[in-house]
Amino acid sequence: MDETLFTRGDLVRHKRLGYRGAVYEVEPNGKKEDSWPPSSTSLEENQETWYRILVDNAQHSCRLAEHELTKDSSRDPIKNPKLDQYFQDFENGKYQPRVI
């Protein structure tokens, strides 16, 4: 299995824009599901891990590359109405993914 910097349930922060979020899906080496719109197919995108993030204090999610993210050290829960779709609990600064 490919190594990734973050896993499902981790709290992250956007390095440049500063907003927080929770990782709900990991796409190692740029592997995307068909449900996402097509994007560029650059070599960098195909080799980098991408994450789907529930954005704090928002109703949406986003898809970000690993180089755009850093660990969120606040360990505080986020607010997003979609949390219950992906996570069951928040313990020790991390969301516990729902068992599907």
Write down the pLDDT at residue 43.
47
pTM of the model: 0.83
Q: What is the CATH number of domain 11-87?
A: 2.30.30.390
Write down the pLDDT at residue 71.
97
Four-CA torsion 33, 38, 44, 47, nearest 10 degrees:
10
Q: Which of 32, 37, 35 is nearest to 50 (CA)?
A: 32
Q: Which of 80, 100, 5 is nearest to 50 (CA)?
A: 5
Write down the pLDDT at residue 1.
46
Write down the pLDDT at residue 38.
47
pLDDT digits (tens, 9 = 90+) for 7-61: 999 999 999 999 999 999 999 876 655 444 444 444 455 689 999 999 999 999 9
Chain centroid to Cα 51, Å, comes to 4
